[in-house]
Amino acid sequence: MRLAAALALLVLLAAGALLLPWMPLATLWTSDPPLAALVLFELRLPRLLLALGYGAVLGLTGAALQALFANPLASPDITGASSGAALGAVLGGYYLGLTQPLALAAAGAVGAFAALVLLFALAGRRADNPTLLLSGLAISLAAGAGTSLLLALAPSPFAFYDAFDWLMGSLVDRTLGQAAAALVPAALACAWLVRRTRAYDALALGEDVAASLGYRPATLRWETIILSAVAVGACVSVVGAVGFIGLVAPVLARSLVHGHPGRALLPAALLGALLLLGADLVTRLAPVGRSIPLGVVTATFGTPLFLWLLLRMRWRLTA
């Protein structure tokens, strides 16, 4: 029932994001239909698709990473995958001369993959919370600093002004081609992850139990890292890094499926799309001529939940 309500709310928000404000669009459609179609399909539709798709990717990959690490604090932003993807995309776009959206998506995927491999090497499977947090924080800070440095030293004198978009995310002025370059690889990677739903549930019982049920934990581990890197990297290469969605959505999703990490993948995707679309709608409330970075909105509601998670884990350890 709660998932159905979330889906209905998502449909309402999507319709609102595409059609509202309605009166200026209706007036424009009457006076200049080609221009109205341009606004609807070239400006609003790519923004809507990216908000839905990127949010779903963050939610689903966050749930997969949390199942892999057996830790509710694992997410694309905290593990450094988003920051690594931004670093890879900036390096590819400003220094390697990559201009095609798919090439930038590949560069972002390589950066995210490198960050996740480094995290796994530092923290390991079933890392305790301090180790995971410190390792992910170190990778995120290093990748963020590297991104800022590359933008500051880029050949283009205007590159540094893109720092907010890369580090905090933005859905403004994206095209359908960019949306396709980000969402098609991400959808394929996420579809493969969804096929591992039962494997993640088995992994929650331990690697030995999962192996006895016919699953290969080592193969599942690398599949999760590579596919999450492809999905997150492709989206970050177009939108930039957005935090907390990949942390919040899986936590909420597991409460809807009685704690099963594998079954939480699709609900986490739904909730991630809902949260990011809602955050994008909030950014549109900024005064004319001003903009609110997407990551600022997600951090505003994500930080309290993050602190709540830490406090709850502390209470469990001391109980």
Q: Is 251's pLDDT higher than 90?
A: no
Taking CA 56 as the corner, what is the angle to CA 46 and CA 255, rounded to the nearest 5 degrees? Answer: 150
Q: Is 193's pLDDT higher than 90?
A: yes
Report the distance separating Cα 112 and Cα 189, nearest Å: 14
The confidence score (pLDDT) of residue 192 equals: 93
Element (H, E) at 77: none
**163 touches 87 (CB < 8 A):** no
What percent of the chain is modeled with pLDDT above 90? 18
pTM of the predicted structure, to 2 decimals: 0.88
Crossing angle of helices 101-123 and 176-194, rounded to 10° = 40
Over the stretch 228-238, which tens digit does the pLDDT of each residue have? 888 988 898 88
Over the stretch 239-249, which tens digit does the pLDDT of each residue have? 988 888 998 89
Crossing angle of helices 129-152 and 81-94, rounded to 10° = 20
Q: Which of 274, 226, 197 is nearest to 12 (CA)?
A: 274
Phi, psi of 216 (to 5 degrees): -115, 100
Residue type, 228: S
Q: Which of 234, 186, 215, 275 is nearest to 68 (CA)?
A: 215
**275 touches 55 (CB < 8 A):** yes
How many CB atoms are closer than 10 A to CB 286?
11
Buried-exposed string 250-277: b where 16+ CB fall within 10 A, e elsewhere? bbbbbebbeebbbbbbbbbbbbbbbbbb
Residue with the bigger pLDDT between 187 and 113: it is 187
Confidence of residue 265 (pLDDT cuts 50, 70, 90): very high
For residues 99-105, average pLDDT:
82
Q: Using H for helix, E for strand and C for coil, what is the string for 237-269?
A: HHHCCCCCHHHHHHHHHHHHCCCCCCCCHHHHH
Largest Cα–Cα separation, the chain:
67
Report the distance separating Cα 228 and Cα 151, nearest Å: 25
Report the distance separating Cα 142 and Cα 86, nearest Å: 12
- Min mean pLDDT across 149-163, 245-259, 275-289 is at 149-163
**240 touches 166 (CB < 8 A):** yes
Tokens linked to 79: 């593990």
Report the mean per-residue pLDDT for the chain: 84
Element (H, E) at 230: helix 217-239
Report the distance separating Cα 66 and Cα 247, nearest Å: 9
For residues 112-136, average pLDDT:
76
Q: Mapping DSSP to helix (H, G, I), strand (E, B) and coil, where does residue 198 land?
A: helix
The confidence score (pLDDT) of residue 224 equals: 87
For residues 49-57, average pLDDT:
95
Residue with the bigger pLDDT between 161 and 279: it is 279
Q: Which of 234, 245, 113 is nearest to 184 (CA)?
A: 234
Report the distance separating Cα 316 and Cα 318, nearest Å: 6
Confidence of residue 55 (pLDDT cuts 50, 70, 90): very high
Residue with the bigger pLDDT between 179 and 207: it is 179
The confidence score (pLDDT) of residue 190 equals: 95
For residues 45-62, average pLDDT:
94
- What is the sign of the dihedral through the CA atoms of 255, 201, 8 and 278? positive
Crossing angle of helices 217-239 and 176-194, rounded to 10° = 170
For residues 173-202, average pLDDT:
91
